């Protein structure tokens, strides 16, 4: 008669099997489900509350036919504007992928005005950033790169900046000329409430962000840490590596001078699924400070 493994070994095997089953179940849920994360951010100069929806890092994924479930989730928030933070297509996207994105954006435009910044995949795809920008703008969305515009959202005058951002550390000399830094120094310099759509959050790690003039920075790129360990956080984020400090959620810099929200994104990473990390639509209510 074979001797049974020790009790501790059987318990360990049972725990490993349970953990594997939980991870598989979570991967399935995170493939098909959506979550909504809400924030309230006070900004000086906002006279009427503004409700905005934020999405990022779709990577050509679909939530239902023609992304109807994602559209429904955004529409249910009744936003005054929708901000897309980039990486909405893959870096190997072709003309058909771009047209699918544009069809989605046209449907988003039926909900609210869409503002769109490019991510690294739009910048790197064979179509080229100029073609992507032109196609997105033809849908009625407003897409720009390393620039900002004055617009009206929810009865408020607001400056909106657009940039992929950058993750490399700038020298002081390079910073004065880098187009994203030039924009971020100007976007709120006239005192107008300023929101910057910045695909990559890593610019906050470099010296020089103290010269920026935005009030709220909205970022993506991290995919929420991809895998999340409950009570610990994300396991991996591009450019930050394992156990990133900035994976998703609300962050304050320089004693509250800057507020950054990292959207957890909608897709996994290539064939790697999300685990314990629901795809996210962020909903932000901007309020005045008075």
The CATH number that applies at residue 118 is 3.60.21.10
Q: Which helix (H) or strand (E) holds 32?
A: helix 7-32
Domain assignment present for 175 = yes
Domain assignment present for 22 = no
Domain assignment present for 46 = yes
The predicted structure's pLDDT at residue 208: 67
Domain assignment present for 188 = yes
Q: What is the pLDDT of residues 81-115, one digit of tens each?
A: 999 999 999 999 999 999 999 999 999 999 999 99
Residue whose C-alpha is closest to residue 165's, from 227, 118, 129, 231: 118
Domain residue limits at 99: 33-287
78 pLDDT exceeds 70? yes
Q: What is the pLDDT of residues 248-275, one digit of tens each?
A: 999 998 877 889 999 999 998 888 889 9
Rg (CA), the chain: 20
CA distance 92 to 262: 25
Domain assignment present for 259 = yes
CA distance 19 to 234: 17
Q: Scanning the structure block, which residue is given the tokens 């020089």?
A: 208
Mean pLDDT of the chain: 90
28 pLDDT exceeds 90? no
Domain assignment present for 272 = yes
CA distance 166 to 180: 8
What is the tally of structural domains in the chain?
1
Q: Which tokens belong to 190?
A: 């006239």
């Amino acid at each position: 008669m074979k001797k049974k493994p020790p009790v501790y070994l059987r318990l360990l095997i049972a725990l490993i099997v349970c953990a594997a089953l939980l991870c598989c179940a979570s991967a399935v849920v995170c493939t098909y489900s959506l979550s909504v994360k809400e924030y309230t951010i006070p900004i000086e100069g906002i006279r009427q509350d503004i409700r905005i929806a934020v999405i990022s890092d779709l990577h050509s994924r679909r939530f239902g036919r023609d992304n109807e479930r994602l559209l429904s989730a955004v529409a249910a928030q009744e936003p005054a504007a929708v901000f897309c933070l980039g990486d909405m297509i893959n870096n190997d996207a072709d003309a058909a992928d771009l047209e699918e994105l544009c069809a989605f954006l046209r449907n988003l435009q039926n909900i609210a005005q869409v503002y769109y910044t490019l991510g690294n995949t739009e910048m790197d795809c064979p179509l080229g950033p100029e073609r992507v920008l032109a196609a997105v703008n033809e849908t009625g969305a407003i897409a720009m790169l390393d620039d900002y515009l004055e617009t009206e959202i929810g009865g408020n005058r607001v400056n909106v900046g657009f940039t992929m951002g950058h993750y490399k550390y700038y020298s002081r000399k390079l910073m004065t000329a880098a187009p994203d830094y030039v924009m971020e120094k100007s976007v709120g310099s006239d005192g107008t409430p300023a929101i910057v759509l910045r695909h990559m959050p890593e610019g906050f790690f470099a010296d020089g962000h103290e010269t920026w003039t935005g009030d709220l920075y909205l970022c993506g790129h991290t995919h929420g840490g991809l895998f999340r360990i409950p009570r610990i956080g994300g396991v991996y984020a591009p450019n930050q590596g394992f156990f990133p400090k900035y994976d998703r959620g609300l962050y304050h810099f320089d004693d509250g001078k800057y507020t950054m929200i990292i959207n957890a994104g909608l897709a996994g990473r290539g064939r790697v699924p999300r685990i314990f990390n629901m795809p996210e639509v962020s909903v932000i209510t901007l309020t005045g400070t008075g």
